[in-house]
Structure 1
Amino acid sequence: MSTDESVLQGRNFVSFAPGISAQLRADILDCLLYAQLSADQKHDRYRNWKPWIEQYQRTIYQKGGRLTGSIDPGMVTIRRLRDLRYLPASAFGRATSPELHALMAGSLHTLLSSEHANTFFSSWFSSGQSESFQVVPCRASGTGAVDILVCGLQMTTRGVKPGLLFWDTLSGDMIVRTNGASFSLTEQSYAPYREKISRYLTDAAKKAIAEL
């Protein structure tokens, strides 16, 4: 893979830098989706986002991710979605190596320039609306592991009226809260959980289809 690959899965916007094996990409996507579903079972992400994102991170740690750093919880105010790409470097805290910071910036730029963003954001711009998602850049570490930066973002709109384009607003602003951590994951560290998580996700998908 010669270029970055970006995937929107549930509420996880995941980007893979070159050099990550197909098995590890699949492992990471399964682990992140499992973490999302696990957090959903324990907390309401609309009302209790902080414990929700903390449970999300805890699940990654419990399923083979070695904790390597943290993003200190923070809050900024922006006027437009496209301003997300200018989030200060300090928002990424101790979790950010120069490489992961560059990948994070690139991931935000790619997200906000993609059809994923149009699909994800266009339906919820009204005053007082709260939404959250995770931007998760991943890069090969050179030791067989993948460095994963989880940046959870919760956005709450205030006095917003839709603009002509989904990334613009006519008035109001958005409060953006950040929380996250960085992890290192290998095929070996995830192996004890791979089969069980795969079965869980398969069963969850079947249940969701049956409920349609």
Structure 2
Amino acid sequence: MNAKMIGSTLTSFVGEVSEASKQDIQDCLLYAQLYADRGRTSGPWTWLSNYQYALFSLGFSLKAYIVEQPLLISDAHQVRDYKVQVAGMGSSERLANLLGVLFDSLHLERDALSYLNEPPIASHATHYQCAPCERTQQGELVVFVCALQLSCTPHDKNPALTFVRLNSKGGSFQFDAAVYAAMKNEVQDVIRDFTNTMIQNVEL
């Protein structure tokens, strides 16, 4: 399966998505990456909030959101069965299946094992993000932004005891090409110097 790493976001498409629509969504995701990178990060999910804010400004609307369900990990194999729970409309079985494929490419199990075997002295977290996209049977373009955080936190009273957790946030966004059209030239001006260095083809 072909995919792309757009900044720090792994994305791929399912369904009949035209090349023009793929390019528009790719441009939007890169713009959101640049916007979030330049913003202030005062908390573990601030970067994601900035990223989503940029998407809203480009004609994306939230149709469903991920319900936070932190998973306490005692065995690295647990990440294989991690599922995100979604509230609202806008997700599909195809996107869920593609999300699972993208998860497998993020090395979550390897990183969880590293935290369990060699926990850092201070609290530490690793962040991942994927954004599978599809054109639904109703003709809507949907991007499912899923941010993952794998964290390792030492116990307050017993530093030898650490807690490894996996959590997710994000949601399903519908893309409105007509709204984006008014900002397309501005977006392309912003991302022009970054497309060659921040977009890579990936084979899953």
Same fold (TM over 0.5): yes
Please tell me whether residue 70 in structure 1 is matched to residue 60 in structure 2.
Answer: no
Please tell me whether residue 132 in structure 1 is matched to residue 127 in structure 2.
Answer: yes
For 1:87, the aligned partner's letter is Y
Q: For CA contacts below 8 A with separation 6 or more, give which structure has more relative contact order.
A: 2
Change (3 A) 1:7 1:85: farther
Note the aligned Cα RMSD (angstroms).
3.2
Q: TM-score w.r.t. structure 1 length?
A: 0.71
1:200, distance to aligned residue in structure 2 (A): 0.3
Q: Distance in 2 between matches of 1:156 and 1:76?
A: 10
Q: Distance in 2 between matches of 1:89 and 1:135?
A: 13
Which residue number corresponds to residue 36 of structure 1? 33
1:73, distance to aligned residue in structure 2 (A): 2.9
- Contact 2:72-2:166 within 8 A present in 1 as well: yes
1:6, distance to aligned residue in structure 2 (A): 1.4
1:72, distance to aligned residue in structure 2 (A): 2.2
Which residue number corresponds to residue 198 of structure 1? 188
Q: Distance in 2 between matches of 1:31 and 1:156?
A: 28
- Contact 2:151-2:166 within 8 A present in 1 as well: yes
Q: Distance in 1 between matches of 2:35 and 2:77?
A: 30
Which residue number corresponds to residue 165 of structure 2? 175
1:149, distance to aligned residue in structure 2 (A): 0.6
Which residue number corresponds to residue 45 of structure 2? 50
- Contact 2:32-2:52 within 8 A present in 1 as well: yes
Change (3 A) 1:96 1:145: closer
Query: What is the aligned counterpart of 2:16 among 7, 15, 19?
Result: 19
Change (3 A) 1:203 1:149: same
Please tell me whether residue 98 in structure 1 is matched to residue 88 in structure 2.
Answer: no
For 1:199, the aligned partner's letter is D
Q: TM-score w.r.t. structure 2 length?
A: 0.74
Query: What is the aligned counterpart of 1:87 among 82, 88, 98?
Result: 82
1:39, distance to aligned residue in structure 2 (A): 1.6
1:106, distance to aligned residue in structure 2 (A): 2.6
List alignment gaps of at least 5 residues for structure 1. Answer: 160-170
Q: Distance in 1 between matches of 2:180 and 2:78?
A: 36
Classify the secondary structure of the residue corresponding to 2:145: strand
Q: Distance in 2 between matches of 1:172 and 1:106?
A: 29
Higher helix share: 1
Q: Percent sequence identity over matched residues?
A: 23
Deviant stretches of 4+, over 6 Å: none
Equivalenced residue count is: 184
